[in-house]
Amino acid sequence: MKSIHLIAGLAVALTGLPAEAQVRSDKNLNGASGRPIINLRVCNSSGRSATVAVSYIQPGESRFINRGWYDVADGACEELVTTDNANFYFYADATDGSGRRWAGGHDLCVQYPGPYTFYTSGTECQSGQELRGFTPFNSTEPGSWTWTLNP
């Protein structure tokens, strides 16, 4: 009986992980396009609650989609979306009436009050949408990528 365990252990040591486990691992790291899967999340360390919008490409697609609003309480982290594109954009508003915004210089449309989901069509907003400055980000590493809202 000991020789069977020894042979099985030696086989695993020589070949690494079983093929099934290796396939599962690859699926977690790469999307259908072969690009790394990136899980986009937001952590809020701002001292106030916020609502977040994101623009990204869904795995296996080629067009940017805009989604909002994701509520992120102060001190919380929220998983938002998954992408296999290295480029993505975030925007956030504080929900406490302070007027605090986390913005950047890349103009995209949002919709208030939301929730909303629509494909990006440039900077010409449709009826009921407003232009906001999103912050551009980039990540080529698979796994979680976090945007932190600071005060």
CB 95 within 8 A of CB 85: no
Task: Decide which of 143 and 16 is more confident.
Answer: 143
Region 84-96: mean pLDDT is 97
Give the C-alpha separation, 6 to 123, whole Å: 64
Give how far the C-alpha of residue 149 lies from the chain's centroid of Cα atoms, to the nearest Å. 15
pTM for this entry: 0.78
Instruction: Give residue 128's pLDDT band: very low, low, confident or very high (50, 70, 90).
Output: very high
Q: Which of 112, 94, 114, 111 is nearest to 103 (CA)?
A: 94
Residue reference for tokens 């699926």: 27
pLDDT digits 0-9 by tens, 10-54: 333 333 332 222 222 233 466 556 778 999 999 999 999 999 999
Whole-angstrom distance between the N-terminal and C-terminal Cα of the chain?
Answer: 63
Query: What residue type is assigned to position 146 of the chain?
Result: T
